[in-house]
Amino acid sequence: MTVLPLAPRHRAAAAAGATVLALALLAGCGADPAERLPDAADVDLEGGSIAADVDLSGASLTVSSKEFTENVILGKITLYALRAAGAEAEDKTGLMGSTIVRKAQLDGEIDLYWDYAGTGWTQYLKEDEVITDGTEQFELTAKRDLAENSVEWLGPARFGNQYAIARASDAPGPVGEVDDLARLGRLAREQPDHATFCGAAEFMDREWERFQASYDAPFDVANVYQMSLSLNYVNVAKGSPCTFAEVTTTDARLESLDLKVLDDPEGYFTTQLAAMTARGETVEEHPELRTLAKDLGDALTEDAIIELNGMVDLDGATHDQAALYFLAENGFIG
What is the layout of strands, in order, in the sheet containing 4-5? 4-5, 224-226, 197-199, 244-248, 163-168, 259-261
What is the per-residue pLDDT for 40? 73
Does the CA dihedral 328-278-200-246 come out positive or negative?
Answer: negative
Amino acid (1-letter code) at residue 215: Y
Q: Which long-range contacts (CB under 8 A, 24 or more apart) does 231-238 make?
A: 231/1, 231/198, 232/198, 232/199, 232/200, 233/257, 233/259, 235/198, 236/166, 236/167, 236/168, 236/198, 237/168, 238/168
Q: Which CATH architecture has domain 163-261?
A: 3-Layer(aba) Sandwich (3.40)
In whole angstroms, what is the distance from residue 106 CA to residue 218 CA? 37
At the fourth CATH level, the homologous superfamily of domain 56-161+272-320 is Periplasmic binding protein-like II (3.40.190.10)
* Residue 57: burial class (beta carbons within 10 Å; 0-12, 13-18, 19+): exposed
Percentage above 70 pLDDT, the chain: 90
Output the DSSP codes for 287-326. Answer: THHHHHHHHHHHH-BHHHHHHHHHHHHTT---HHHHHHHH
Question: Which pLDDT tens digits describe the chain residue by residue (334 residues)?
Answer: 333 334 332 323 333 344 334 444 444 334 466 677 877 777 889 889 999 999 999 999 999 999 999 999 999 999 999 999 999 999 999 999 899 999 999 999 999 999 999 999 999 999 988 898 999 999 999 999 999 999 999 999 999 989 999 999 999 999 999 999 999 999 999 999 999 999 999 899 889 999 999 999 999 999 999 999 999 999 999 999 999 999 999 999 999 999 999 999 998 998 899 999 999 999 999 999 999 999 999 999 999 999 999 999 999 999 999 999 999 999 999 8
Q: Where exactly are the structural domains of the chain?
A: 56-161+272-320, 163-261
- Name the pTM for this structure: 0.85
Question: Mind listing the pLDDT tens digit for each residue in 117-136?
Answer: 999 999 999 998 889 899 99
User: Identical fold at 56-161+272-320 and 163-261?
Assistant: yes
Model confidence over 305-328: pLDDT tens digits? 999 999 999 999 999 999 999 999
